[in-house]
Chain A
């Protein structure tokens, strides 16, 4: 545990400047609409800085493990008395605290200067959760893309097959639900009968999405623990763990959507 904390703290110490940057952007996004007295401009400004934070989260994700793996600098950690899982978990947790903290600081000024007509990402609890949740999604995506892109190994074929399969399963699941929903909405009685089922499916899909994020973090951690400083081995482990786990989640989703809605 001490190793996880040391590595997470190291990542935070190396990139702490992102927090004042987040706070600065948040202040800009909160102050501009007060000066301009134009809610639409304020909303655009706020959405802009939130999206910027997502892009930064993606870039941080790419640099957390992919870059040191490519540059051979992960060996610094692997020549210390810490386990591979500790190294990867420390870096992932450090990255999470960093980007979630940055997004929270970015949203804080706007939350404190609440305006009724402002963009939904500022003013309600769900909007804030969405903004922070997407930050985590972008971090996770950055971690994966960073490793896959920088390892430049032959396992990109697995990525192509796995990624396509996962995307097809997701599309098929949503298509199935949409089709059933359109059918149920044809008359009021059917819709009233079917509504609880759609609500359950919504909960299930939300759970699957959250599980998907956990799967990504777990797959990255396992890949680094198995492959260590060997880019080829890390890429192979990540591709196998990630795509197979996401495929299982996809099959669960499509099966539930199909059999649950029949």
Chain B
């Protein structure tokens, strides 16, 4: 039994005989911001679905707050804020109806904070969800997630499809939340620059396997010194998370070839 908010232990998922996740392990420690990196089809969303108790792993265990995510999903969701990759709110539902639906379900729901967040981003409470822009939908979902005062946040590629301004606003919102409350966060993204300032830990998922996981600074330092040598002829340390990721992907491709 562990007290870490989110743990995957040797999780394997097969869909129609195809291995989507292959013995993936991951631990998100309290107060950390874990950035999950991976290309499209790497298995990030399937991994999130296992962690959120939406899908039962074929092998291994997914734990939320130390308990099995599949069997204790409902209880765990009261302590967790979720922003999915594809906004999944019914399209005819307004933000006001959404708040009215969610408020009685969450013991720590804060209606004022929700209304203030919507006002801050210029989102009208009576506009149906289907008529909001992609950025506004994500902002509404983030507002719902944060208004529950969660102990942990799960963000599945929240900046996907957002324009630069919406992306900057979303990240500013996240940074504020993390600075104010130190909420444990698991975020998957393609936006390396965005998470570089947020993440304390990273994991790299490639073709269903976790090829790298650890503290961001340690990984960046070790890559510059040793492992990247065949690929980085200059010998300089990789300057960014994106370079680390590209190195890993290139190296894996080389091994596979």
Residue pair A73, B77 in contact (C-beta under 8 Å): no
Q: Which of A2-10, A102-110, A135-143, A254-262 contacts B (4 or more CB under 8 A)?
A: A2-10
B88 partner, pick from A6, A75, A83, beta carbons under 8 A? A75
Q: Is B75 located at the chain interface by the 8 A CB criterion?
A: yes
0/1 interface trace, chain A 69-92, chain B, CB 8 Å (1 if under): 000110110111111100000000
Residue pair B106, A81 in contact (C-beta under 8 Å): yes
Residue pair B75, A81 in contact (C-beta under 8 Å): yes
Q: Is B224 located at the chain interface by the 8 A CB criterion?
A: no
Q: Is B97 located at the chain interface by the 8 A CB criterion?
A: yes
A108 to chain B, nearest CB (A): 27
Give the docked Cα–Cα distance between A3 and B104 (Å): 8
0/1 interface trace, chain A 1-25, chain B, CB 8 Å (1 if under): 0110010001001100000000000
Give the docked Cα–Cα distance between A132 and B113 (Å): 45
A152 to chain B, nearest CB (A): 12
Q: Is B74 located at the chain interface by the 8 A CB criterion?
A: yes
Residue pair B101, A75 in contact (C-beta under 8 Å): no
A92 to chain B, nearest CB (A): 17
User: For B52, what are the chain A residues with a Cβ–Cβ distance below 8 Å?
Assistant: 78-79
B90 partner, pick from A76, A79, A233, beta carbons under 8 A? A76
Residue pair B105, A80 in contact (C-beta under 8 Å): yes
Q: Is B86 located at the chain interface by the 8 A CB criterion?
A: yes
Q: Which residues of B (168-223) have their CB < 8 Å from a CB of A?
A: none
Q: Which residues of B (17-69) have their CB < 8 Å from a CB of A?
A: 49, 52-56
User: For A228, what are the chain B residues with a Cβ–Cβ distance below 8 Å?
Assistant: 53-55
Query: A81 with B74: in contact, given A6-B101, A10-B101, A76-B89 (CB under 8 Å)?
Result: yes
Query: From A78, which residue of chain B is reached at the shortest CB distance?
Result: B54
Query: From B82, which residue of chain A is reached at the shortest CB distance?
Result: A79
Q: Is A229 located at the chain interface by the 8 A CB criterion?
A: yes
Query: From A229, which residue of chain B is reached at the shortest CB distance?
Result: B54
Residue pair B82, A6 in contact (C-beta under 8 Å): no
Q: Is A230 located at the chain interface by the 8 A CB criterion?
A: yes
User: For B105, what are the chain A residues with a Cβ–Cβ distance below 8 Å?
Assistant: 2-3, 6, 80-82
Query: From B78, which residue of chain A is reached at the shortest CB distance?
Result: A81
Query: A2 with B104: in contact, given A81-B74, A81-B77, A83-B74 (CB under 8 Å)?
Result: yes
Q: Is B162 located at the chain interface by the 8 A CB criterion?
A: no
0/1 interface trace, chain B 71-86, chain A, CB 8 Å (1 if under): 0011111101010101
Q: Is B92 located at the chain interface by the 8 A CB criterion?
A: yes
Give the docked Cα–Cα distance between A95 and B47 (Å): 33
Q: Is B237 located at the chain interface by the 8 A CB criterion?
A: no
B72 to chain A, nearest CB (A): 11
User: For A3, what are the chain B residues with a Cβ–Cβ distance below 8 Å?
Assistant: 105
B141 to chain A, nearest CB (A): 9
Give the docked Cα–Cα distance between A14 and B49 (Å): 27
Residue pair A14, B88 in contact (C-beta under 8 Å): no
User: Which of A78, A82, A83, A233 has the most chain B CB within a 10 Å cutoff?
Assistant: A78
Give the docked Cα–Cα distance between A76 and B52 (Å): 12
0/1 interface trace, chain A 116-152, chain B, CB 8 Å (1 if under): 0000000000000000000000000000000000000
User: For A2, what are the chain B residues with a Cβ–Cβ distance below 8 Å?
Assistant: 104-105
A130 to chain B, nearest CB (A): 33
User: For B101, what are the chain A residues with a Cβ–Cβ distance below 8 Å?
Assistant: 6, 10
Give the docked Cα–Cα distance between A10 and B104 (Å): 13
What would 6 A/B residue contacts be, using CB atoms closer than 8 Å? A10-B93, A78-B52, A78-B54, A79-B84, A82-B105, A84-B74
Interface residues of A (CB under 8 A from B): 2-3, 6, 10, 13-14, 68, 72-73, 75-76, 78-84, 228-230, 233
Interface residues of B (CB under 8 A from A): 49, 52-56, 73-78, 80, 82, 84, 86, 88-90, 92-93, 97, 101-102, 104-106
Since A10-B93, A228-B55 are in contact, a sample of 18 more A-B pairs with Cβ atoms closer than 8 Å, ordered by chain A residue number, is A3-B105, A6-B101, A6-B105, A10-B97, A68-B90, A75-B54, A75-B84, A76-B89, A78-B53, A78-B54, A79-B54, A80-B77, A80-B102, A81-B78, A82-B77, A83-B74, A228-B54, A229-B49
